[in-house]
């Protein structure tokens, strides 16, 4: 059973119910393509049409051509958010190589210097919050680019005061749509 947080939607009895009702749906009748994408991190029963999904994919098709594969690190304590984010990026395997973690301590024990191009880090995590994790990662790799993710608001001045080593250049507010997520990540990588 998954815990019920306001930002992540309702509790379900099975992983498939949570994924289907909270994050997105996969329609295998259309050759495995995503036919309905709800907003990542939101609870929405509204589906976009197959044609709308194709227009999203065609708008993002430019990222597939002639670009180097980028290594993305995703850290979020919610396994369903991690699964959803991974699924979005895996639509573009020639563009993104993804590593995911739900435990910030595990990230630190396996982290490789000068390996990742970008880290997407959830702010609200147990053991180490996203800012504490970022400080430790930046100590290991000063060139790591980081995008923080949260469903809540953030006071950047207070955060700079508490965590002076951190540069908050990128903040992704949940919920975020798949297309907007890809665009934000591309803008950070270019």
List pLDDT tens digits, range 123-135: 999 999 999 999 9
Give the CATH number for residue 21: 3.40.50.2300
| pLDDT number for residue 165 | 84
- Do 150 and 122 meet the contact criterion of CB atoms below 8 Å apart? yes
1 lies in some domain: no
Q: Give dist(CA 186, CA 190) in Å, integer.
A: 6
**Residue 24's domain spans which residues?**
15-189
Q: Please count the structural domains in the chain.
A: 1
147 lies in some domain: yes
89 lies in some domain: yes
How far is C-alpha 58 from the chain's CA centre?
21
If one compares 177 and 18, the residue with the highest pLDDT of the two is 177
The pTM for the full model equals: 0.68
Name the nearest CA neighbour of 106 among 86, 88, 123, 128.
128
20 lies in some domain: yes
2 lies in some domain: no
3-state secondary structure of 98: strand
| pLDDT number for residue 67 | 67
Q: Give dist(CA 165, CA 81) in Å, integer.
A: 27
CA distances, 95 to each of 135, 155, 175, 178 (Å): 27, 33, 23, 15
154 lies in some domain: yes
43 lies in some domain: yes
113 lies in some domain: yes
Residues 6+ apart with CB under 8 A from 35: 25, 26, 27, 47, 50, 53
| pLDDT number for residue 169 | 81
CB crowding 102-113: b at 16 or more within 10 Å, else e: bebeebeeebee
Q: pLDDT at residue 100 above 90?
A: yes
Residues 6+ apart with CB under 8 A from 77: 102, 103, 104, 122, 124, 125, 126
Name the nearest CA neighbour of 36 among 57, 66, 14.
57
pLDDT (tens digit per residue) in 20-57: 333 333 333 333 333 333 445 554 333 333 444 444 45
């Amino acid at each position: 059973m998954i815990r019920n947080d306001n930002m992540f939607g309702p509790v379900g009895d099975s992983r498939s119910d949570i994924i289907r009702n909270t994050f997105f749906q996969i329609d295998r009748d259309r050759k495995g393509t995503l036919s309905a994408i709800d907003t990542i991190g939101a609870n929405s029963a509204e589906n976009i049409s197959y044609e709308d999904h194709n227009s999203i994919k065609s708008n993002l098709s430019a990222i597939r051509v002639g670009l180097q594969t980028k290594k993305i690190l995703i850290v979020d304590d919610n396994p369903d958010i991690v699964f959803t984010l991974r699924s979005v990026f895996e639509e573009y395997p020639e563009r993104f190589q993804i590593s995911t973690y739900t435990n910030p301590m595990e990230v630190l024990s396996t982290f490789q210097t000068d390996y990742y191009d970008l880290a997407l880090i959830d702010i609200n995590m147990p053991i180490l919050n996203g800012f504490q994790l970022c400080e430790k990662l930046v100590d290991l790799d000063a060139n790591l680019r980081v995008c923080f993710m949260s469903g809540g608001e953030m006071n950047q001045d207070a955060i700079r005061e508490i965590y002076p080593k951190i540069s908050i250049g990128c903040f992704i507010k949940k919920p975020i749509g798949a297309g907007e997520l890809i665009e934000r990540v591309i803008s950070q990588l270019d």
